Structure 1
């Protein structure tokens, strides 16, 4: 490995970018976390996923506009530094890294739960540790290897979801034809579409937004994409289709096959459904799929956090050693840092295996929504600085400007408020505020003196 800093390798093609984007949206939030959203809101969780997906789409369009115009390492961390100032950029970059660590802990926790389907007596933390070591090794190889691994992981997930939807629709048709308990009527026959009222519907957004965490990795890939001006828009524009197909339609099928209150958080609802119907072979196959989904998400999390830290090191916002790149164009030290940090997930799964998922999912939601809010604010500030000619020259402008942006900003602020109402989610606000204050202190003591003579061009204007 080279001791000196080198450049990242542009080894991700259009196929890689599309499937990395798909992989980031289809992970633990759907295969495992969806059971928590269903428990809170019942069938109305479908509407929550639609609304949340629309908000995230506008975030990604804002990020896409900036990434296509200027694909840089560090992506939205760099944009926040340019348009909002060095402190917001520093906080955004490290909060995204924190988000990826927490989301990854949630992913490895879910993987441990899935393995319990076959090995109920094996401690969960053993599977967590094994997954970290394998995925860490994959990320130390070239970025093209990472792209290929993520492509096949995502392909397995997508094929399985489509097959499950088709099989579920067939079960619904047969169940309805024979007057059985299986049918679309399950969406309103057990307490109505809003069985827990408006309160349950609103509170489920804290879990729903966690499901979309990681989609912003599309912006991170721009720094290593071969043709970002073509691949990024295509990846972003497929988000509405993914939301409708992979979340709303899938969960609609699940809750039509079995009443929503029968779905527990002890495992993946996908596996529970087919296991409950006596289709043990299908349940076993789906368990392989959800394990693949978890591995895919862990793979993307380590990649995204590593590239963010690399970009921050180039701006003097992270230790210089983080910017060291191997002969294959991989920032190897960031992978080492992520794997070491994620060993904390092994410890949590050893100490509090029952409560760990909800707690870390809510903390991840805080970090995720903070990053999305910074993306939106960076975009608004960058647009406000543009001349009419610059705006007209944009290759991938956001829709519904400016009202869509302002409405999405208000929505993200509302999600922060929601975290205060749940016993397990309230800790996310405490951890989040402490984290932001800690970053502010570190910036004031360490980063600010080192970069005192540097002023981002966009901020000084």
Structure 2
């Protein structure tokens, strides 16, 4: 049954969705996420597998100079999130940025952005499932990888089918564990450097330049690392998705987004700086998390085991959060008839169960990949490259929608900046910088042979879904005609 205190989030105007055949399609998302939940979801979205495991690939590609690549990637994320925050605070809707793209760029833009985000989340989940299998080999090297992938799927399925409030609570505790671990690693690594702790003669700030310089692999290494760095930041856009279920979105969303620069500097730049100072960059192999490798090198086996628990938590947290975000985006699209109407159904707890269930079924592919693949590390980087395409595509659409909202492109509505309570800084140069870096990323994927297959897969998905777009337009017309003259009570309870 609809929560009386929750406004209708099915459309940008707040107009109730026309009644369907059952109450499960007319229930609304509930504003169950508190400021504490929003803040930690935003914090946790920036600390995941891309940092704990994917950072090894980025370090191997760029060398110590990867620190500057993380700064550049962080700038892109910041301006993208500020743009998303501006639109989300002005108009918090189910479907978030997919709806913003539809409103300011047109129907196709909203349609392809929403489906690309769902595609991104599925791919990222597969990467995280791969990472789970790698982490578990720390304790169980002889157990088949697919066993741990299956266990992870069961855990995440249970978490995602709970209420939104329980999702927020789970992410709060997951994030608390991750933040504690990163801070402990930074403090421990800094202590090694400051007090000159004997680690066999390998630790020292001179590791930043004494093996080929800061950029030993040149521009090619920097651009290659950019792919994995942007992948690490993927999922941060979930902050905009939470606007539809935040109790006080006008306060919670701006506060959460405003902490992004500090989070990037602390949890990425400082953490990576410590890693490449304590461990020579050529010794970061990718066979295990560089965080774990630091403690293994120091001979602190129990600390490495504890940190492995943390990176497992991070992977499960990321999967949980990604399924949440994708489920809400597709739910919002279904309410706008840009996705099959079955995905517009909610349980009595306000969870889009059909959407979550469908995505969990797709993730079974991850189990198959583990069965057929013997080198999980290579699989991780391949999946990460594909996920990066989807990630930066969504970011590009968010940035373009924001520019369109300010400039009124194509004769669409134009937002008056003076009416906004939360505005982007450095307008419009920050947006142009972010767009330029994203375009460079696409160019890099075309230039470097190892990423072309991921680029091709992304292009094929975009073209394929675009060819299906006319079906959604037909669905919209048919639904509108079918609902003409109908009346109904959206509050009428029924079994979903």
2:315 aligns to what? 294
Contact 1:176/1:183, CA 8 A, preserved across alignment? no
2:114 aligns to what? 93
1:27 aligns with 2:48: yes
Which of these residues, 387, 390, 410, is aligned with residue 364 of structure 1?
Answer: 387
1:223 aligns to what? 244
User: Quick one: structure 1 residues 388 and 357, their matched pair in 2 at CA, closer, same or farther if it must change by over 3 Å?
Assistant: closer
SS of match in other structure, 1:153: helix
1:166 aligns to what? 187
Taking the aligned partners of 1:448 and 1:323, their CA distance within structure 2 comes to 17
1:408 aligns with 2:434: yes
Deviation at 1:25, TM superposition (A): 0.8
1:113 aligns with 2:163: no
1:61 aligns with 2:82: yes
1:379 aligns with 2:405: no
2:144 aligns to what? 123
2:300 aligns to what? 279
Taking the aligned partners of 2:414 and 2:153, their CA distance within structure 1 comes to 49
Which of these residues, 451, 458, 473, is aligned with residue 425 of structure 1?
Answer: 451
Alignment of 1:126-205 (within 5 A): 126-175=147-196, 180-205=201-226
Alignment of 1:250-265 (within 5 A): 250-265=271-286
Deviation at 1:387, TM superposition (A): 9.2
For residues 69-102 of structure 1, the C-alpha deviation after alignment (integer angstroms, 9 at most, x for no partner) is: 0000000000111111111110000000000000
2:476 aligns to what? 451
Comparing 268-277 with 147-156, greater Cα deviation is found at 268-277
Contact 1:9/1:329, CA 8 A, preserved across alignment? yes
Taking the aligned partners of 2:83 and 2:426, their CA distance within structure 1 comes to 11
Deviation at 1:178, TM superposition (A): 9.6
Contact 1:173/1:183, CA 8 A, preserved across alignment? no
Deviation at 1:287, TM superposition (A): 0.4
Structure 1 length-normalised TM: 0.95
Deviation at 1:196, TM superposition (A): 1.0
Gaps of 5+ in 1: 456-461
User: Quick one: structure 1 residues 353 and 364, their matched pair in 2 at CA, closer, same or farther if it must change by over 3 Å?
Assistant: farther
For residues 389-423 of structure 1, the C-alpha deviation after alignment (integer angstroms, 9 at most, x for no partner) is: 92112111111111221222121111111112333
Contact 2:337/2:476, CA 8 A, preserved across alignment? yes
1:458 aligns to what? none
User: Quick one: structure 1 residues 387 and 295, their matched pair in 2 at CA, closer, same or farther if it must change by over 3 Å?
Assistant: closer
Contact 1:358/1:425, CA 8 A, preserved across alignment? no
Comparing 415-424 with 111-120, greater Cα deviation is found at 415-424
For residues 319-365 of structure 1, the C-alpha deviation after alignment (integer angstroms, 9 at most, x for no partner) is: 11111111111111111011101111111121124221111100000
For residues 86-121 of structure 1, the C-alpha deviation after alignment (integer angstroms, 9 at most, x for no partner) is: 111100000000000000111111011000000001
User: Quick one: structure 1 residues 388 and 314, their matched pair in 2 at CA, closer, same or farther if it must change by over 3 Å?
Assistant: closer
1:318 aligns with 2:339: yes
1:459 aligns to what? none
Deviation at 1:183, TM superposition (A): 1.2
Taking the aligned partners of 2:150 and 2:109, their CA distance within structure 1 comes to 34
Deviation at 1:215, TM superposition (A): 0.3
Gaps of 5+ in 2: 2-22, 481-496
SS of match in other structure, 2:27: coil
User: Quick one: structure 1 residues 387 and 75, their matched pair in 2 at CA, closer, same or farther if it must change by over 3 Å?
Assistant: closer
Contact 1:362/1:424, CA 8 A, preserved across alignment? no
Deviation at 1:453, TM superposition (A): 8.7
Contact 2:334/2:343, CA 8 A, preserved across alignment? yes
SS of match in other structure, 1:302: helix
Deviation at 1:64, TM superposition (A): 0.3
User: Quick one: structure 1 residues 186 and 232, their matched pair in 2 at CA, closer, same or farther if it must change by over 3 Å?
Assistant: same
Which of these residues, 451, 463, 466, is aligned with residue 437 of structure 1?
Answer: 463
Deviation at 1:198, TM superposition (A): 2.1
Structure 2 length-normalised TM: 0.89
For residues 27-67 of structure 1, the C-alpha deviation after alignment (integer angstroms, 9 at most, x for no partner) is: 01000000000000010110000011011100000000000
User: Quick one: structure 1 residues 130 and 178, their matched pair in 2 at CA, closer, same or farther if it must change by over 3 Å?
Assistant: closer
Deviation at 1:442, TM superposition (A): 0.7
Contact 2:112/2:462, CA 8 A, preserved across alignment? yes
1:238 aligns with 2:264: no
Taking the aligned partners of 1:452 and 1:202, their CA distance within structure 2 comes to 45
Taking the aligned partners of 1:404 and 1:11, their CA distance within structure 2 comes to 33
Contact 1:52/1:208, CA 8 A, preserved across alignment? yes
Deviation at 1:275, TM superposition (A): 0.7
Q: Number of paired residues?
A: 454
Deviation at 1:179, TM superposition (A): 9.7
Taking the aligned partners of 1:301 and 1:216, their CA distance within structure 2 comes to 10
Contact 2:104/2:413, CA 8 A, preserved across alignment? no
